[in-house]
Amino acid sequence: MRRETIYEIKSLYRDDFRVTGFRFGSGEKAACIMGSMRGNEYQQIYVCSQLVRKLKKLEEQGRIRAGKEILIIPCGNPYSVNTKKRFWTIDNTDINRMFPGYDLGETTQRIADGIFQEIKDYACGIQFASFYMPGDFVPQVRIMKTGKENIELAKKFGLPYVVVHDPRPFDTATLNYNWQVWDTDAFSVYTTSTSAIDTKSAAQAVNAVLGFLSKQEILDYAGFGEYESRVVASHDFINVRMDYAGFFERIVGAGERVEEGDSLARIVDPYTATVRQTITSPVDGMVAFAHSEALAYQNTAVYKLIPEG
């Protein structure tokens, strides 16, 4: 294992901004694993740390294939993590909306460029991502529909779902999209949580990534507990929205199967404690996403369901 500074910005008033990477093996740029790029993505950093620990041991055992290199970058935005801000601390911009970057642009454009120049030539790219809405996910692999997406390769992670996403205009500035444009097989892996550590789904993600790397003949690793992935288009998800604002009392969480008419959550008046709405499932299916914060607002999508069939 070799620990390196991937990108650095000198600072006048506090410690320098550094993006740290861990390299395993040597030779062909076989796989790059990217963790947090937002300040509240603690789970994503945690999963990468577990992969660093595991790959260090596998490398010592000689189980990384000869001529193959793996790079892990646990965090691309340590400043925002340290200040507990989701986005860049100065102007609230999102580094994962700045790719492929620009070395003469704004700070976040320069950071995106510095990272991308280091990782754009890897054959496989894996990003531990988070959703823009606060909540929990069923573990899944998500790929952008660019014309270069490799669905069969995504199934090799052995996670319950492979979600194929039609990119919106702002998605074209994400790491996943630009990795594909530069001919990297790119995948976004979602675990259950974002700002809280979920050790169970973290272990599932570590096993999925190591199993994938083994199937790609990058390392020797025997995985366990894999799924036969179901491929779902993101536009087939069914959004369940609230009619009223209030406290959100969740009954059903991500990864649970529901039937039409099942109660999913209650919306409670913050002042009177009366139930303003009981949210029910419109279909039989699987809960792909469940809102997790105490408050929820009118017309917010608090659940995303994958219908059966």
- CATH 2.40.50.100: which residues of the chain? 237-307
Q: Decide the pairing of beta strands 246-250 and 263-268.
A: antiparallel
Measuring CA to CA, which residue among 206, 204, 199, 303 is closest to residue 248?
303
pLDDT at residue 14 is higher than 90: no
Q: Whole-model pTM?
A: 0.93
Q: How far apart are CA 267 and CA 270, in angstroms?
A: 9
pLDDT of residue 273: 96
pLDDT of residue 13: 75
Cβ proximity of 301 and 247 under 8 Å: no
Type of residue numbered 74:
P
Strand boundaries in the chain, DSSP class E: 2-9, 17-25, 28-36, 68-75, 124-128, 135-137, 140-144, 161-165, 185-190, 230-233, 238-241, 246-250, 257-258, 263-268, 275-280, 285-291, 295-296, 301-307
Q: Report pLDDT digits (tens) over 138-182.
A: 999 999 999 999 999 999 999 999 999 999 998 999 999 999 999
pLDDT at residue 131 is higher than 90: no
- CATH 3.40.630.10: which residues of the chain? 2-233
pLDDT of residue 165: 94
Q: Report pLDDT digits (tens) over 31-73.
A: 999 999 999 999 999 999 999 999 999 999 999 999 999 999 9
Q: How far apart are CA 285 and CA 303, in angstroms?
A: 12
Residue 266: pLDDT band (50, 70, 90) is very high
What lies within 8 Å, CB to CB, of 259 at 6+ separation is 281, 284
CATH architecture for the domain at 2-233 = 3-Layer(aba) Sandwich (3.40)
Reply yes or no on domain 237-307 having CATH 2.40.50.100: yes
pLDDT at residue 297 is higher than 80: yes
